[in-house]
Amino acid sequence: MNLTPFPTAAEVPDGPDPRRAPLLPPSEKPRIVVEHPDFYVIHKPALWLTHPVRARVDVPDILTFMQQETGESDLAPPHRLDRETSGTQLLTRDSDAARTFFTLFKTHLVGKTYLAIVHGTPDWERFTLDAPLGDLGLGGANRVVIRQAVVPGGRPAITDFRVVKRRAGHTLIEAYPRSGRLHQIRAHLSHLGLPMVGDKIYGRDPNAFVEFMETGQTPELTARLGLARQALHAARIAFAWDGAQFAAEVPLAPDLQAYWDSLS
């Protein structure tokens, strides 16, 4: 199945020092954007996991939250947003819908459009990057096991980019991944020399993720990165359902909008 793998505890700080600074708590709760008989479209706030994982820190997840809120124990996520990514997240309501979405995602029939705020201003308005992604590997300047990069023999990955706005050395970019590789948008933007604001792995500071794992989200780290999380938002999701085209959108998250507005 050509989807971003479900998270492991490696994505949530789980170091040996229990005195490490805690994760920042989310400032918002998930909310229902669309209630369909077969599925929900949820606005997933940043700093929420899509579903629970085993870790030494208590991180809220939208699956558990929505199961409790709705009383529907059969809810399931057919795809996953990273903890720091906000925006549209699907939850199926029964096994039939789950099977249908499995097929839709496997056959690349679900369109997902993201918004990202990056450092730098490209000289193009639209650009398609067709570049294979795979593990970068430890060594040299890389100390992060899960870091992806454009590498020979990597898995095929294609992302369409469009400039929305430019402002004060930053760009608001629309990204449409045609494949679903791990960290695809972030790794492709890094490859293009457009690191995402707040990104601890693919941003401008190569030591940010290691520091985060050791100390947590400190004010100093946030100040250096510009944001407490990566500036990536799942703005729109679209697919065919019951013979008609379905689409749902969530406006840019408040913290990302505030950051963008502060640049003017």
- What's the first-to-final CA gap in the chain, in angstroms? 42
Tell me if 3 is assigned to some domain. Answer: no
Decide if 13 contacts 213 (C-beta within 8 A): yes
pLDDT at 15: 39
Please identify which of the residues 61, 82, 199, 255 carries the catalytic annotation: 82
- Cβ partners under 8 Å of residue 223, min gap 6: none
Clarify whether 135 is annotated catalytic. Answer: no
| pTM of structure | 0.88
Tell me if 1 is assigned to some domain. Answer: no
Decide if 176 contacts 206 (C-beta within 8 A): no
| 168 pLDDT tier (thresholds 50, 70, 90) | very high
pLDDT at 145: 81
Strands 170-177 and 232-241: unpaired
What is the domain range of residue 92?
9-262
- Cβ partners under 8 Å of residue 250, min gap 6: 33, 43, 86, 87, 88, 233, 234, 235, 236
The pLDDT tens digits of the residues spanning 169-183 come to 999 999 999 998 999
DSSP 3-state of 257? helix
Tell me if 98 is assigned to some domain. Answer: yes
* Percent with pLDDT over 70 in the chain: 89
Q: How many domains is the chain built from?
A: 1
Tell me if 141 is assigned to some domain. Answer: yes
Tell me if 179 is assigned to some domain. Answer: yes
DSSP 3-state of 224? helix
Tell me if 210 is assigned to some domain. Answer: yes
pLDDT at 99: 97
Overall average pLDDT of the 83-103 stretch:
97
Asked whether residue 146 carries a pLDDT value surpassing 50, the answer given is yes
**Cα 254 from Cα 174, distance rounded (Å):** 17
Residue 97's domain is classified under what CATH number? 3.30.2350.10
Tell me if 4 is assigned to some domain. Answer: no
